[in-house]
Amino acid sequence: MRIEKVDVLIIGGGAAGLAAAIEAKNTGVKTLLLERDRNTGGVLNQCIHNGFGLHVFKEELTGPEFMERLWEELGNLDEIIRNNYTVLKIDHINREVITLSEEGIVVFKPKALIMATGARERPLNALRIPGSRVAGVYTAGVAQKMVNIYNRLPGNRVLIVGSGDIGLIMARRLKIEGMDVLGVVEIMPEPGGLIRNVVQCLEDFNIPLWLSHTVFKIHGKERLEGVTIGKVDENFNPIPGTERYIEVDTLVASVGLIPQNELIENFVEMDPINRGPVIDDLMRTSIEWIFAAGNNVAIHDLVDFVYEEGKIAGRNAAKYVLGEKLPKPKYIFKRGNNVGVLLPQRFTGKEPFKMYLRPKKSLEKSAILFSGKVVRKFNWKIRPSEMIDLVVRNFESLPNEVLVEVNKID
């Protein structure tokens, strides 16, 4: 067993981890990034569609382009990145990160740690649909990897379950590659992904979207043969008489992402709504030497936001290692009316920072309030599926506990 000392250790080589590595490395501290896959980039590898980088690079890039730009910014990848390293355990008492790789067990001893472990897909089985567990059922990300990386089609006739962005993008992608895409079913009364993707992925390719619909039953014994879909009421219960049978050999499920925090959730303070660690504006968790950024903190809409968080985490982890005294969080955000995902939950009040939130319900005209005071108005429709970003400054007037609300206005 080998022991390796490092200043900043980053777990996960997606956009957040790469951004953190760029920033930490540039301060001169010894930086190492562990990636369990054979190369870094994370989901950017397989997201060959455009729509990335408008905030960060001021142009619209595809996933691989965004990823390769980060590689170029990082410089000598071999020096910083260890591919094919899986983290088994974090011993937070002894500050050790235990890994498994081709060289066996290696224990890293970092001065600061950045969690950039991203998210995993919720599987269709989580929906508890009756029927056998047949072949031909994929998550959208797996189907995407098959098609875009390995050049394999998952089947011939497909129904997409869930209208999150990956589901919508995969509907178009599978159609372009020659599959019969019979439609997208969405249990909610409105689409889960960006409207832009409903337009350019479904409407452009005449793919039907069934809202307030779900899969009632899966047919087939070994390979999927078909599904029964139907309408649901406002409590998501099936409405009898609305069933219809659709012959498909493939189901692609895009039913949500789950932040991956198995490595830290037992000892770091967690936010049950974000499903990620509680963090402050410096991207610190409740343990001062452990930072976190990206989709493991909360599910984001844009890689640009994830990248920016990674940079903040990388910068502050390096400062911590260099012995700079970082300010303690002084304020906390408390969720009030109509606030779902919200981050950071704490802040130091030293410098302006970006906060992200999702309303729980869609509103036509609305305002964000901090302890009763309007800080931002929206005269366009806001939705849970579209994350709001907001720069917070002018701390002087704020109480230490800031109640955040998203209220309807006239």
Judged by the rule CB under 8 A, the positions of this chain that interact with other proteins are 48-51, 54, 60-62, 64-65, 67-68, 147-151, 176, 178, 194-196, 198-200, 204, 301-302, 380-381, 386
Dihedral angle of Cα 119, 337, 190, 238, to the nearest 10 degrees:
90
**What is the nearest approach in angstroms of other proteins to the Cβ of residue 151?**
4
Which residues does 72 contact at the CB level (< 8 Å), separation at least 6? none
Q: Regarding beta strands 331-335 and 401-408, do their DSSP bridges make them parallel or antiparallel, or are they unpaired?
A: parallel
> Distance between CA 129 and CA 297 in Å, rounded?
29
> Distance between CA 274 and CA 296 in Å, rounded?
9
**What is the nearest approach in angstroms of other proteins to the Cβ of residue 353?**
21
Dihedral angle of Cα 200, 206, 207, 210, to the nearest 10 degrees:
100
**What is the nearest approach in angstroms of other proteins to the Cβ of residue 62?**
4
Nearest CA to 165 out of 122, 117, 201 is that of 201
Residue 219 three-state SS: strand
- Cα–Cα–Cα angle for 407, 360, 265, rounded to 5 degrees: 130
> Distance between CA 100 and CA 90 in Å, rounded?
12
Nearer to other proteins, 206 or 400 (CB): 206
Nearer to other proteins, 64 or 336 (CB): 64
Residue type, 104: G
**What is the nearest approach in angstroms of other proteins to the Cβ of residue 334?**
28
**What is the nearest approach in angstroms of other proteins to the Cβ of residue 32?**
24
As given in the structure block, the two tokens for residue 67 are: 């990823």
Contact 310, 74 (CB under 8 A): no
**What is the nearest approach in angstroms of other proteins to the Cβ of residue 158?**
17
**What is the nearest approach in angstroms of other proteins to the Cβ of residue 190?**
13
Nearer to other proteins, 103 or 203 (CB): 203
Residue 367 has a CB neighbour count (10 Å cut-off) of 18
Residues facing residue 244 across a β-bridge: 229
Which residues does 20 contact at the CB level (< 8 Å), separation at least 6? 8, 10, 33, 114, 116, 291, 293, 310, 311, 313, 314, 317
Residue 292 three-state SS: strand
Contact 153, 356 (CB under 8 A): no
Nearer to other proteins, 175 or 231 (CB): 175
**What is the nearest approach in angstroms of other proteins to the Cβ of residue 110?**
31
- Cα–Cα–Cα angle for 277, 281, 283, rounded to 5 degrees: 45
Nearer to other proteins, 147 or 298 (CB): 147
Nearer to other proteins, 158 or 398 (CB): 158
Nearer to other proteins, 64 or 131 (CB): 64
Nearer to other proteins, 176 or 374 (CB): 176
Nearer to other proteins, 64 or 238 (CB): 64
**What is the nearest approach in angstroms of other proteins to the Cβ of residue 254?**
17
